[in-house]
């Protein structure tokens, strides 16, 4: 299924639309939730509904706006191929770090541990960093103001979540490494 999604993403992207790339990113996220995640507790329903409805409305709006700009002159600089590269790096990195997170928990263990491997030695939420890259990739592919604003809004949201996650780990683990940043290696 992942091969089909990535192939559909490439075909749709090369035809000048971000619909395929954004759809692929959302499908990969749902696949991760269904097959990789091992949750230690339940999420509050209101929070889950707000997050899901925000993603849904952003996706629907992005697809609608992309449809509306069809036929308008192309931007002077074509960023589709760069966007595709950034998007694929984001998808692969996000999936890899979610895979590492899924291997942290044994079936019988409900507690938390400090993540290891990949970029976890540099940042506590590398999967958020790569998810931001998928949004930036979509923005570069579509080259619309709305897709840029979606990428910026998602980055701000995930930055705040990663900072809260780092603070939580620091409060729960005395041996949490001080050099591990929240989202951007060596910076933030």
Tens of pLDDT along 123-173? 999 999 999 999 999 899 988 888 899 899 999 999 999 999 999 999 999
Q: Could you give the CA distance from residue 114 to residue 120 in angstroms, rounded to a whole number?
A: 9
Q: pLDDT tens for residues 36-55?
A: 445 455 667 777 788 788 87
Distance CA 84, CA 44 (A): 35
What is the rounded distance in angstroms from the CA atom of residue 93 to the CA atom of residue 136? Answer: 14
- Please say whether the beta carbons of 151 and 157 come within 8 A: no
Report CA torsion sign: 42, 45, 51, 52: positive
Average of per-residue pLDDT across 84-113: 86
| Percent residues over pLDDT 90 in the chain | 40
pLDDT score for 11:
39
**CA 143 – CA 137 distance, rounded (Å):** 10
Higher pLDDT, 138 or 31: 138
Is the distance from CB of 59 to CB of 18 less than 8 angstroms?
Answer: no
């Amino acid at each position: 299924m992942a091969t089909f999604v990535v192939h559909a993403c490439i075909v749709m992207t090369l035809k000048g639309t971000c619909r395929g790339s954004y759809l692929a990113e959302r499908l990969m996220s749902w696949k991760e939730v269904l097959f990789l995640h091992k949750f230690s507790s339940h999420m509050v329903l209101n929070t889950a509904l707000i997050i899901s409805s925000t993603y849904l409305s952003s996706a629907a709006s992005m697809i609608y706006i992309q449809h509306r700009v069809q036929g308008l002159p192309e931007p002077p600089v074509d960023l589709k191929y760069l966007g595709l590269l950034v998007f694929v790096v984001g998808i692969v990195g996000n999936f890899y770090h979610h895979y590492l997170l899924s291997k942290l928990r044994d079936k019988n263990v409900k507690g938390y541990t400090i993540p290891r491997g990949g970029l976890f030695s540099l940042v506590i939420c590398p999967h958020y960093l790569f998810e931001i890259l998928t949004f930036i990739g979509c923005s570069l592919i579509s080259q619309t103001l709305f897709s840029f604003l979606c990428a910026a809004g998602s980055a701000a949201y995930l930055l705040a979540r990663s900072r809260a996650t780092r603070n939580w780990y620091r409060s729960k683990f005395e041996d949490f490494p001080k050099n591990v940043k929240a989202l951007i290696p060596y910076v933030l």
